[in-house]
Structure 1
Amino acid sequence: MSMRGGAAPRAVFVPPTRWALWRQGPRVITYYLVSETLAVVLTLRPSPIEVDRRTVAILGVLLALGVLQSETGRRVERIRRRVASTPHINMTSVWTFAGVLLLPPPLLAVLVTGLYLHLAMRSWYRLQRVPASRTVSNAAIILLSCYAAQGVLRLAGLDDVRSAMTHGWAGTFAVAAAGVTFFVVNALLVLPARREIGRTPEALFGTWADNGLEVATLCLGALNALAVATLPGLVVLVLPPLLLLHRTVLVRQLEVAAHRDDKTGLYNTSGWHALAERTLAGAARQRGTFGLLMLDLDHFKQVNDTHGHLAGDAVLRAVAEAIIAAVRGRGDAVGRFGGEEFVVLLPGIAHQDIAPVAERIRRAISALTVPVGQLKVTGLSVSIGIAAYPTAGTVLQRLLDAADTALYHAKATGRNKVVHVADLV
């Protein structure tokens, strides 16, 4: 942020009445305040671990390395934030979980606060999706997750990783249980803090890759703590693999983003086509079947003309979520072909089971109520065309043409209906 004359203070110091917090809605505001208050109360409670020079030195090492890792990966972190379509998972668990195993609550709070303050000031300050209230809430949630993990250690009769080392396998299981607790509590505490809660497991908790990243950082955090407790100099060895992991995750996110539609998070045309071609090749080798649905929202132009394009975008996102919720599971692929047209791939489905899935989608969209500011968009409907492999064709374009023919027939004969191309023969 450039500093010119008196403009900078106004950009940095926002009056409390204009905080982004107050635009979040009563539920989110209440949750923010309650969780942050609870984090403060738990921080001030008495701790069985004494604060001495050694623990202060450990705090300094973890905080310094966390800041160093954040600085060296700052550009990568910003890009990951921008391209993420699911809940964002950063790398702070490497340091915060080590703090769980080494620090008393007051110093653990200093560690979490320092790490998130640095992230906010250096990595996220240009991103409009990360207001200060969100950063404070995220830090409070991480701190509560840390305290829950420490609670597991206390139940096992352990103060820190050094005492766990004297208990053999019992200590190992206690540390593992603390890591699992951190993971689960953090995943659950994040949900109420969101303004819009997703309807699918992926939207709620992230992808398998996202959660695998969190597990990996927790494992590195445990190894960090063990290194500090035994040979402190070895803790710096975590930085090279951590930075490499950070960049590897970015590459994967960029690959996924290149095949995703910006507005809905569904597959875009190229991404869906690539997946459909692989599915077709597999079905040809194994003599299998799959279904293909072409969907078009009825009278969508009226939504844009009446409520504006932002409302239209909200409707598209709601429709995308409704389709995902109505299909069978992770194997089914939903794409957006542009405008108000969607396509669904149903691998390995029997021909007689395709129409019920399509009908379920149609009913789900008809039941939608989409809030747009102070108004609500209702009365949506969709026309759907069905084609099945191999009866409707053995190449992808032939199947798409067949489904599109059925879709056109549904539009021409009253809309808000499902038509199978086989019924037109």
Structure 2
Amino acid sequence: MARRSALWRQGPRVVAYCLASEVVAVALALRPASPAVDRRTLLVLGTLLVLGVVQAETGRRVERNQRRRSQPPHINMTSAWTFAGVLLLPPVLLAVLVAGLYLHLAMRSWYRLSRVPASRTVSNAAIILLSCYAAQAALRLADVEDIRSAVARGWAGTFAVVAAGLTFFVVNALLVLPARRRIGRTPAALFGTWSDNGLELATLCLGAVNALALATLPGLAALVLPPVLLLHRTVLVKQLEVAARRDEKTGLYNTTGWHALAERTLSDAERHSGTFGLLMLDLDHFKQVNDTYGHLAGDAVLRAVAQAITSSVRGRGDAVGRFGGEEFVVLLPDIDPADIGPLAERIRRAVSTLTVPAGQCSITGLSTSIGTANYPTSGRSLQHLLDAADTALYRAKATGRNKVVHVTDVV
């Protein structure tokens, strides 16, 4: 029964890492508390929990939409409270704070989201807690016990708090990587976009301000809440912008979003006498997947294929889109024409090795046919390039499928 859970389906490496990180987090949390827990410390814990819950409740819709639509890594706003805990709470109460915040998120924001099972919530909380303890260790190395002693140290205390924040940021980014079943190839896939990381740094800054307020004028801690909610509003605006140019099912660019990027790439190539590549992909026999396993399994296959393609391209400059059904398109700016074929083969191989869970079964043996074109040899307008790649794709389908055909190979 346990092996049917979401955790056991992630593979031995992920299971071992998640369990190990959780054990280490619990062991560190149960260290003897120093300094001793007093009434004021308990009041700080309660204040941070209340503020964190209020923020999560107020931004619950935004958080759920962000978790539903985004690809890993996912940045939430808990650092405004957990980093304040780093600067104010002993290890055991810091563990209580993290557990309380993530339990509330799981019960109120993520409970209907299939991609956030209980095992994932526990693993996320353990990683955040380990990041908090790493930040506290950075403080101790600077001979700073908490925010109060940092204030007493002046500039030295300021640098210690900044170092603790950066430690939290870096350690969290690194600890998340082994917990993923698939690790991306690009910096954005590994560590998130600039805006994602800017959001995390902003919440860490608010966490430091929060701790300072609680240590000096506790009533001012409530003033941290409006900026956090404003950041949530900014995230909502970003979600709406992304929704307008992203395919909801796979998270890839939709036709409109991909065409806009492709037209800009074409204009740049025309101005600077550059070149770019274009791939058209179509899943082979996809109708059989829907007929055999159902449309929900078919959607899971589309998402897995989208992730495989995204992980196989070169980086953020490459744009992967879904043109509807089981057809995908890839834009490859500034690529040497000789490199288009090997990259297409890498995508084809990545799709062929996929194993997609479908209820009690697993879907394997997927394949894709790919047609390639490049500017300006295959055409000088976007429509001509798409037509050329589509012709090559048709030839791949007609001559056996599961292959890459270049437009120059089509007679």
Q: Does 1:256 align with 2:256?
A: no
**Deviation larger for 375-384 or 274-283:** 375-384
1:45 corresponds to which of 5, 20, 31: 31
Q: Please report how far the alpha carbon of residue 142 of structure 1 lies from its aligned counterpart in structure 2 after TM superposition.
A: 2.0
Counterpart for residue 273 of structure 1: 259
Matched, 1:175 2:174: no
1:225 aligns with 2:211: yes
Cα distance change on mapping 1:296 and 1:172 into 2, 3 Å: same
Paired AA for residue 106 in structure 1: V
Q: 1:292 to 1:144 in 2, by over 3 A?
A: same
Counterpart amino acid of residue 266 in structure 1: L
Letter in 2 for 1:323: I
Partner Cα distance (2:379, 2:366) in 1: 31
Match of 1:197 in 2: 182
Of 35, 47, 70 in structure 2, the residue corresponding to residue 84 of structure 1 is 70
Shift of 1:107: 2.3
Deviation at 1:128, TM superposition (A): 4.4
In structure 2, how many angstroms separate the alpha carbons of the residues matched to 1:39 and 1:337?
A: 44
- State the partner residue of 2:305: 319
SS at match of 1:336: strand
Largest Rg, 1 or 2: 1
- The alignment's C-alpha RMSD in Å is 3.1
Aligned to 1:98: 84
Q: 1:246 aligns with which of 229, 232, 236?
A: 232
Instruction: Tell me, yes or no, if the aligned pair for 2:3 and 2:9 is still in contact at 8 Å.
Output: no
CA drift of 1:203 comes to 4.2
After superposing the two structures, state which structure 1 stretch, 162-171 or 305-314, moved more. 305-314
CA shift in 2, pair 1:371/1:361, >3 Å: closer
Give the superposition deviation at 1:93. Answer: 0.6
> For 1:29 and 1:131, how far apart are their aligned partners in 2?
14
Question: Given the superposition, is the C-alpha separation of residues 19 and 140 from structure 1 closer, same or farther in structure 2, using an over 3 Å criterion?
Answer: farther
SS in structure 1 opposite 2:225? helix
Cα 1:72/1:375, change in 2 over 3 Å: closer
Q: What percent of counterpart residues are identical?
A: 74
Residues 330-387 of structure 1, C-alpha deviation per residue, up to 9 Å, x if partnerless?
Answer: 2111112122221111112233433333333334444x14244566555444332222
Q: Specify whether residues 51 and 253 from structure 1 end up closer, same or farther in structure 2 by C-alpha distance, changes over 3 A only.
A: same
Q: Distance in 1 between matches of 2:120 and 2:367?
A: 36
| Residue 208 (structure 1) aligned with residue 194 (structure 2) | yes
Question: Which of residues 246, 264, 288 in structure 1 aligns to 2:274?
Answer: 288
TM-score (norm 1): 0.84
Alignment partners' CA distance in 1, 2:11 and 2:166:
31
Following the alignment from structure 2 to structure 1, what is the Cα–Cα distance between the partners of residues 122 and 362? 31
Change in CA separation of 1:198 and 1:258 when aligned onto 2, cut-off 3 Å: farther
| AA at the equivalent of 2:238 | R
Task: Verify the 8 A CA contact 2:2 2:8 in the aligned structure 1.
Answer: no
Task: Determine the structure 2 residue equivalent to 1:234.
Answer: 220
Task: Specify the alignment match of 2:390 in structure 1.
Answer: 404
Q: For residue 158 of structure 1, report the CA deviation from its aligned partner.
A: 1.5
Q: Does 1:140 align with 2:151?
A: no
Secondary structure at 2:331's aligned position in 1? strand
Cα shift at 1:227: 2.6
Q: In 2 relative to 1, CA 296–138 (structure 1 residues): closer, same or farther, beyond 3 Å?
A: closer
One-letter code of the match for 2:95?
A
Give the drift of 1:276: 0.9
- Residue in structure 1 matched with residue 369 of structure 2 by the alignment: 383
* Pairing 1:300–2:286 present: yes
Residue by residue over 1:50-75, the C-alpha shift from the partner in whole angstroms, topping out at 9 and shown as x without a partner, is 32333233223322322222232233
- Give the letter aligned to residue 403 of structure 1: A
C-alpha distance in structure 2 between counterparts of 1:362 and 1:26, whole Å: 23
How many residue pairs end up in the alignment? 408
Cα distance, 1:36 vs structure 2: 3.6
Can you list the C-alpha shifts for 1:118-160, whole angstroms capped at 9, x where unaligned? Answer: 3334333444444444434333332222112111211222111
Q: Does the Cα contact within 8 Å between 1:289 and 1:349 map onto a contact in 2?
A: yes
Provide, for residues 287-310 of structure 1, a one-character-per-residue CA deviation record: whole Å limited to 9, x for no partner.
322111112233333444455545
Task: Give how far 1:204 is off.
Answer: 4.3
Structure 1, unpaired ranges of 5+: 1-15
The worse-fitting range, judged by mean Cα deviation, of 372-381 and 262-271 is 372-381
8 Å CA contact 1:197–1:204 kept in 2: the answer is no
Alpha carbons 2:69, 2:248 under 8 Å: kept: no
Q: CA deviation at 1:19?
A: 10
Distance 2:5 2:350 in 1: 33
In 2, are the aligned partners of 1:314 and 1:370 still within 8 Å (CA)? no
CA displacement 1:141-198 (0-9 Å, x = unmatched): 322221121112112221112212333443233222221222233233334545x334
C-alpha distance in 1 between matches for 2:4 and 2:400: 49
Secondary structure of 1:386's counterpart equals strand
Show structure 2 runs of 5+ residues with no match.
none
Q: In 2, distance between residues paired with 1:17 and 1:412?
A: 45
Q: How much has 1:214 moved relative to structure 2?
A: 1.3
CA distance in 2, matches of 1:327, 1:166: 51
399-408 or 348-357, which moves further after superposition? 348-357
Deviations 1:261-318 (A, max 9, x none): 3343322222211211221222223332211111223333344445554554444334
